[in-house]
Chains A and B, each alone.
Chain A
């Protein structure tokens, strides 16, 4: 073959290197990979820095004021001279909206995830996913604006009727379902043919009337409620639950998908309905992944700033009674955001450092929950892989 070779048969063609060349290659590779590693470690360095710099500004607060007041007093008067820094009510407020939003988002999110992974045909799922992504993409300040400008006045003016209708629409179907199931169970002992049908009819009718009365009575009570301020824990919890939903849905769905078809087919083959298959077989297998999803969703809710700052009412007291979601509250995030404007004029004072103490509290909480959820996911993966 007389054609030109690529490098004219030069020595560089040899695949065995001289020691000199090998050394040079190794050094180049060392620095190259070292650079990549450095960049990849950047994230870890940032995490360390965040902990360090937030802690450094938080510690002086605890040195000056100790721990007891911060965690046990509800007197939050940072602007006074001398100030009072009892954050209990604020921590309570954070917890309250987090639990409130979890109560709404967790059942909704899990059933939506089940629906996406097991119920809906693929063609519809394709459209449902972007909806969830959009829900996640809307900036928090837009949700906050919605909560403050649109939802809060609605709640204030039509709070009672809104609560009543929500109760009827949500609880109604479940109560009716419960009537059907309970009456079936109550009469299941009697296998006596025609007699049983009559019995069952009577039981269903009695329970049905009772249930309707119950629904009506609770609805009427709710209708009579006057909401004094639309910016309250209920408003915030509801909006936060929207914001936590996308996380819960997508992570739970991943976990449900990971369960695999064999398990489902095994259950169907034994004559289970879809609901039974999911509840008794799929959900237990996916439970740890779903738990991780819930933790991640809750983290999103507790760390959210703008919505609570705009729509929680920002009053630092424990609601009366303690479960009163129609009362205004104040959260850690909103306190940091709201008070820094005045506090950073007085860098070094307890008023400034207390906000970092709150930041540290949030940071530690998010770190722990993140670690826990990560562990859970890893464990589930191992179990499903049969290790």
Chain B
């Protein structure tokens, strides 16, 4: 081959390598950026008067005087809309029964539904039982979506059988042309803001409040707390065990067949699929040991603990092996026993490294879902107290992200909650990892002197 071609090949080889690294960085960005930008929306958003009503009624947050004043203000605009609706109902009463009336009636039902979705229960509606129907749109962007739905009927065009059907919109006002309801549409379009009074809202309660009506409203505190209990519980079991096992492997284990079996068991455990840990937790901790009646934080923590144990052992082993041998010699040379040398010299020197491994494992325990599905997680649940960890299950961020995104009846309506949860989980895990990375950088700097 030509030297020129060889050089081109060499350069493209480098380019492939650099590109793959860049691709990985890009993958990270592609995953994280939308989650961050959308997740922030769970806390910063344009909140409507309905949000403030809810906050006051459920959590006693906000200024009741200002709220009352705003309610009066919006009610004046709402009443206009309601009177249009009433006028139309009266008009319908007077209509002759027939196809036309039937069509109006069915159309009108969806209009009423959307209106209730926007403004809360309409006059004449029964007081709804579910919280989600007691309030209108709490978030302005949801209100705008609902408004669009009110203004237009979505239709599908199937005319070209070779292609997928295309969507198109028909103004609803046209369907009601000539009736009293025709006035409602321009009125709503022009006055929606005055009816809902959107304000830039910083909703810190998303983190600190419980959820209301299966996450339709409210915050995610129960999930955050559950995640915290599970992860910390797992660490309580796994950390001491892992460090002691690491001490054995580095300082006491002889180089024989039995030790190699133990080591191989460690890497086997590290490779077990996480869902199998879940099965094991169910079959062993709950069905056999009966650590709790059914799912519980304790069973989940134990399951997570055996999952993160190999990581902790490996990290602790590495940290202990990184302690200069001279420290050990110095201590033994002064007449210290082996055990005291380990406790007073080796462990303190290895501690930052051990803690780094611990932090990373903590993050892993917080983020795992599969092991807790059968052992600890419930979809909807109240915040539990510390005394309940032995017998009650808990919601947890990881599980509820899955549940809200895939199984919730209104999964599309509460995307903002899902994004907020993912953001919370990723933030927790990445902050833990970041602190571990920084800690490690400091250690290596210290070792350099």
B264 surroundings in chain A (CB, below 8 A): 371, 374
- Check B363 against A340 for contact (C-beta < 8 Å): no
- Check A112 against B17 for contact (C-beta < 8 Å): yes
Name B residues whose Cβ lies closer than 8 Å to a Cβ of A.
Answer: 1-2, 5-10, 12-21, 23-25, 27-28, 31-32, 34-35, 164, 241, 244-245, 247-249, 252-253, 261-262, 264-280, 282-284, 287-288, 306, 309-310, 313, 339, 360, 363-364, 366-370, 373-374, 398-399, 401-402, 405-406, 415, 418, 422, 425-426, 429-430, 432-433, 437
Let me know if A72 is at the binding interface, CB within 8 A.
Answer: no
Cα–Cα, bound, A315→B109 (Å)? 36
Query: 28 A–B contact pairs at CB < 8 A?
Result: A36-B247, A39-B241, A40-B262, A42-B241, A43-B266, A50-B269, A50-B272, A54-B280, A57-B283, A107-B20, A115-B17, A119-B18, A133-B433, A137-B360, A137-B433, A141-B422, A145-B35, A188-B1, A273-B7, A276-B6, A303-B272, A305-B370, A306-B398, A309-B402, A340-B278, A362-B273, A371-B268, A374-B267
A-B pair count, CB < 8 Å, reads 275
Chain A residue at smallest Cβ distance from B423: A142
- Check A115 against B430 for contact (C-beta < 8 Å): no
- Check A146 against B35 for contact (C-beta < 8 Å): yes
Known: A54-B280, A139-B368. A302 touches B273 (CB 8 A): yes
Known: A115-B18, A303-B273. A44 touches B261 (CB 8 A): yes
Of the candidates B6, B21, B275, which one forms a contact with A303 in the assembled complex, judged by CB atoms under 8 Å apart?
A: B275
Interface residues on A, range: 35 or more
Chain B residue at smallest Cβ distance from A336: B275
| Nearest CB in chain B: distance from A179 CB, A | 11
Known: A43-B269, A274-B13, A337-B278. A130 touches B248 (CB 8 A): no
Known: A46-B309, A137-B433. A40 touches B253 (CB 8 A): yes
Known: A137-B429, A245-B24, A310-B402. A142 touches B35 (CB 8 A): yes
Interface residues of chain A: helix, strand, loop or mixed (majority): helix
A367 surroundings in chain B (CB, below 8 A): 268, 271
B28 surroundings in chain A (CB, below 8 A): 131, 134-135, 138
- Check A43 against B284 for contact (C-beta < 8 Å): no
Cα–Cα, bound, A47→B265 (Å)? 6
Cα–Cα, bound, A111→B22 (Å)? 11
Name A residues whose Cβ lies closer than 8 Å to a Cβ of B.
Answer: 32-33, 36-37, 39-44, 46-47, 49-50, 53-54, 56-57, 107-109, 111-112, 114-116, 119-120, 128, 130-135, 137-146, 148-150, 173, 177, 180-181, 184-185, 188, 226, 242, 245, 249, 273-276, 278-279, 296, 299, 302-306, 309-310, 333, 336-337, 340, 344, 347, 355-356, 359, 362-363, 366-367, 369-371, 374
Known: A139-B369, A242-B31. A46 touches B306 (CB 8 A): yes
- Check B244 against A40 for contact (C-beta < 8 Å): yes
A242 surroundings in chain B (CB, below 8 A): 24, 27, 31
A36 surroundings in chain B (CB, below 8 A): 244-245, 247-248, 252
- Check A226 against B271 for contact (C-beta < 8 Å): no
- Check B405 against A148 for contact (C-beta < 8 Å): yes
Chain A residue at smallest Cβ distance from B3: A273
- Check A139 against B426 for contact (C-beta < 8 Å): yes
Cα–Cα, bound, A56→B445 (Å)? 51
| Nearest CB in chain A: distance from B405 CB, A | 6
A363 surroundings in chain B (CB, below 8 A): 272-273, 276
Listed from nearest, the 5 A-B pairs whose CB atoms lie closest are A139-B367, A303-B273, A115-B17, A275-B13, A44-B265
What 6 new A-B contacts, CB under 8 Å, besides A120-B21, A273-B7? A46-B269, A120-B17, A128-B21, A145-B405, A149-B418, A367-B268
